Amino acid sequence: MKHVLVLVLLAVAAVGLSAQAVTVEFWHAMGGKNGEITTAICERFNGSQSDFKVTAVYKGSYPDTMNAGIAAFRAGSPPAILQVYEVGTATMMASKGAIKPVYQLMAEQGEKFDPKAYIPTITGYYSTAKGEMLSMPYNSSTAVFYYNKDAFRKVGLDVEKPPKTWPALFDAARKLKAAGYEYGFTTNWISWIQLENFSAWHNLPYGTKTNGFDGLDTEFTINGPMQVRHLTNIYNLSKEKVFVYGGRENKANSLFTSGQVPIHFESIGGYGNMKATCKFDFGVAWLPYYPDVPGAPQNSIIGGASLWVMGRKSPADYRAVAKFFTFLSSPEIQAFWHQQTGYLPITRAAYELTKDQGYYAENPGPEIAIQQLLNKPPTANSLGIRFGFMPQIREIIDEEWEAILADKKTAKQGLDDMVRRGNEKLREFERINK
């Protein structure tokens, strides 16, 4: 009995000695390969020094992770780092007492931190109007289009020169349809790609108050003539069966990967998946634009998620988080993350490093995405969007879009209803977060 007691005491002492490192938790929504890479990055950090330890914990889908973080905060024990998807940004930002802004954390902890080292369209999405970075970008992607090179060859389209403008893309799609393909093109994420990115790409405002960056009293402006024209065009093509609707979110993927539809709009974050599932030669191309719009193409905007530092943690925890963020921003780690997952690097240095390593020679797709983001310095219309209740608003946009395609309303009516219903949600959000 005595021996057992001694052993237990020794064991406790041993644990106590080795547990000197400050341990913080990092809750994330990265499943599969992306989750493995996330864990690998944390392990590298833990191995690089002995004072701090970051434990990556997978919490399920994006909404699950966000809900887990919120519940933990309400219960008084939030994780130090919480990954939140881009549509949750406004909610996090409005919850001032619940979060610790990253720029403030880095200043308090005396970490070297130069916001200019980052790619502006990425950090801009998570910064205040004054340029103060509130959360650390983690997995960022942007919208591009994928095209089936075999199909292009078959109908005599130039695989090296995919269509640059919308009219050219519509022609190509019609040509593919005429050559026997059931449909010419499809798209994922109607709201994110065909409205949010579309507006930024054509330098058009998505909402008032700098797309919501300057205050909660913002309103949508997406029922302008260009958006009406664009959705009307797609609607008309759906009647010609040149465009096909594949469902909400990323449900249209199977149309492209099965070879049925040769042109598909999707996130660059899906590049790895395309590589794994497409049994044909495919390419990635820049988002098209309407050539008569002055300033187009501007720059595309991001999607994905960022890391929020939660409030009510100890100074030692914040020290650990600051060190981890510095480590995470280093070119080597960013290049590793970028090349392993397909998500975009957040610093220019990591982009240059990847280029030097010759990664893009074999994987030209991701570079196109970065070039789109860097195409021009972002304007007030192309920094990103920031609206409360964004998940609900994207759902409203899906619903109205489906009503347009099902001949229940015209594109103009649908867009007007998106604005009206969206504004109602914005007012509710404004009231709740006063």
The binding site for another protein (CB under 8 A) comprises 63, 66-67, 70, 73-74, 91, 94-98, 244-249, 254-255, 258, 260, 389, 391-392, 395, 398-400, 402-403, 405-406, 408, 428, 431-434
User: Could you say which DSSP state residue 195 is in?
Assistant: I
The continuous run of DSSP H or E covering 273 comes out as helix 271-277
How many C-beta atoms surround the C-beta of residue 255 within 10 A? 22
Torsions phi, psi of 128, nearest 5?
-75, 175
Minimum distance from residue 388 beta carbon to another protein (Å): 9
Spatial distance between the Cα atoms of 142 and 344, rounded to a whole number of angstroms: 8
Minimum distance from residue 255 beta carbon to another protein (Å): 5
Closer of 36 and 399 to another protein (Cβ): 399
Closer of 44 and 408 to another protein (Cβ): 408
Minimum distance from residue 249 beta carbon to another protein (Å): 8
Residue corresponding to tokens 């229940």: 408
Minimum distance from residue 270 beta carbon to another protein (Å): 17
Closer of 85 and 271 to another protein (Cβ): 85
- Name the percent of the chain in helix, strand, coil, to the closest 5: 50, 15, 35
Closer of 83 and 372 to another protein (Cβ): 83
Closer of 8 and 432 to another protein (Cβ): 432
Closer of 158 and 407 to another protein (Cβ): 407
Minimum distance from residue 73 beta carbon to another protein (Å): 6
Minimum distance from residue 94 beta carbon to another protein (Å): 7
Minimum distance from residue 121 beta carbon to another protein (Å): 26
Spatial distance between the Cα atoms of 275 and 257, rounded to a whole number of angstroms: 9
Minimum distance from residue 188 beta carbon to another protein (Å): 13
Q: What is the amino acid identity at position 347?
A: T
Closer of 55 and 254 to another protein (Cβ): 254
Closer of 23 and 392 to another protein (Cβ): 392
Closer of 248 and 386 to another protein (Cβ): 248
Q: Is 95 exposed, middle or buried (0-12, 13-18, 19+ CB in 10 A)?
A: middle
Bond prior to 288 in cis (omega within 30° of 0): no
Residue corresponding to tokens 């495919």: 282
How many C-beta atoms surround the C-beta of residue 279 within 10 A? 9
Spatial distance between the Cα atoms of 95 and 101, rounded to a whole number of angstroms: 11
Minimum distance from residue 402 beta carbon to another protein (Å): 4
Spatial distance between the Cα atoms of 186 and 148, rounded to a whole number of angstroms: 12
Of 125, 118, 147, give the one whose Cα is nearest residue 365: 147
Q: CA of 94: how far to CAs of 125, 389, 396, 418, in Å? A: 15, 11, 22, 23
77 within 8 A of 64, measured Cβ to Cβ: no
Spatial distance between the Cα atoms of 75 and 68, rounded to a whole number of angstroms: 10
